[in-house]
Structure 1
């Protein structure tokens, strides 16, 4: 799964790239970011905004909650500790294995289900809240299906909340230093960032959508946009996470959180 080519190109079929990549890199990812995320913490992005601060999911006590693209289920564990009946799903078995180990260590056990966010194994109207923190949406070429599935499994009046890389970031190089403050591509260039192996097979893909694209996908799914939260970089956060960090964070938004409801 070693990448020998990277850049921007069309990839109409992801061919399971997200599942393979996250399965292979689960331990590396958690080793790098586990302390920041916390065993049972809920952060909406690298800025560090927590659900305890933002309250974007509303009152979760007694609510039926689904996390898609859960990774090691840090957010689900935080919700379970606050009385939510939560289920965590992810496409990568290695991530769910890591989640099970954290469950055992913390004593906060949540049901774990291997599932693609575009084809959820749940009945219509099963949940009061569906959410993802940087999961699923950026890693598939057809994010409209993720929104459609979230809407399908939500009850009427339920809430779908998701965070992604802020779309404006795609105009800038993925560099946390001042070199990352100069735009080098068009915001409207929607070609995904792709890494491929020697045979040309995609090993990683991340898809760019403009703010308007996200809004249209939300509306097409029958959802109503309630808020877009753009966390500012806080003074306490001195960490660098990929292209995120305090230098660029002082000037450019890094995360967008979309809050929607099914009316």
Structure 2
């Protein structure tokens, strides 16, 4: 968690400058493909619902939820990302309540929320994804849902390149070693974890959820955004994002 906090505090300004226009001030985008919750409706009708967004970044998704009549709150590890959230609050006129906290230890009472969501927030960056799922199950009401997006596990086989060179498998899908970047002293400054589809299914069901949907979004027509290894070229051939819907028994 220390590495993630430090990295996102340092990267937040560049990230928002590069991707802010695509993400909007109050827009719910599930991933670089451009799948927009305004028409995808993976969360269903959120009006009147209590919703928690984990890893909210600058709060774009949570702010959109507020415009749809939800009672929403964002949770984020990075203080610098939350500083950008406050700026967007002022610019958009839609204020998202936020909490700076670790997703493995959610600071909420049991049964506080109808929905929990996460668009590339927290889940790829925590070693204990099962612990996060258990915490989400704790704060959800019976029948509640957790919908979250991560890098599609198959992408770990390929170079993180948007062009033709990124279409050749170079790594084993079954190599679960995390991707780690280190500074000159050998201290981890960025960590991202790989889990196969089967790993995610077992983690979800192990936390007491039913897996009720898995969406692999196709590239959105008209989206010319290149985002790291994501691009229209690759997006037409291999999936870049996986979106899991996990539902608690009623």
Which residue of 2 is the match for residue 64 of structure 1? 50
Distance 2:220 2:60 in 1: 21
What residue in structure 1 maps to residue 174 of structure 2?
A: 188
- TM-score by length of structure 2 reads 0.98
In the alignment, the residues of structure 1 paired with residue 39 and residue 175 of structure 2 have an alpha-carbon distance, to the nearest angstrom, of 34
Question: What residue is the counterpart of 1:6 in the other structure?
Answer: none
Structure 2 residue 98 is matched with structure 1 residue 121: no
The structure 1 residue matched to 2:117, chosen from 131, 152, 156, is 131
Q: In structure 1, what is the Cα distance between the partners aligned to 2:69 and 2:138?
A: 24
Which residue of structure 1 aligns with residue 81 of structure 2? 95
Deviation at 1:185, TM superposition (A): 0.5
- Name the counterpart of 2:207: 221
1:170-189 equivalences under 5 Å are 170-189=156-175
TM-aligned CA deviation for residue 234 of structure 1: 2.3
Equivalent of 1:205, from 187, 191, 209?
191
Which of 207, 216, 235 is the equivalent residue of 1:230? 216
Residues 1:242 and 2:207 aligned together: no
The 2-side partners of 1:221 and 1:71 are apart by 25
1:141-183 residue CA offsets vs partner (Å, 9 max, x unmatched)? 1111111111110000001000000000000010100101010
Runs of 4+ aligned residues of structure 1 deviating over 2 Å after TM superposition are none
Aligned equivalents of 1:72 and 1:230: distance in 2? 25
3-state secondary structure, aligned to 2:154: helix
* Runs (5+) with no aligned partner, structure 1: 1-13
- Give me the TM-score of the superposition, normalised by structure 1: 0.93
Q: Check if 1:106 corresponds to 2:92.
A: yes
Give RMSD over aligned pairs: 0.7
Indicate the SS of the match to 1:80.
helix
- State the aligned residue count: 249
| Equivalence for 1:10 | none
Q: What is residue 164 of structure 1 aligned with on the other side?
A: 150
- What are the superposed Cα offsets for residues 9-58 of structure 1, whole Å, 9 maximum, x if unpaired? xxxxx5x1111100111111000000000000100000000111211111
Q: 1:80 is matched with which residue: 53, 63, 66?
A: 66
Matches of 2:75 and 2:69 in 1, distance apart? Answer: 19
Structure 2 unaligned runs (5+)? none
Report the Cα distance in structure 2 between the residues aligned to 1:193 and 1:88, rounded to whole angstroms: 27
Listed as ranges, the matches of 1:27-46 within 5 Å are 27-46=13-32
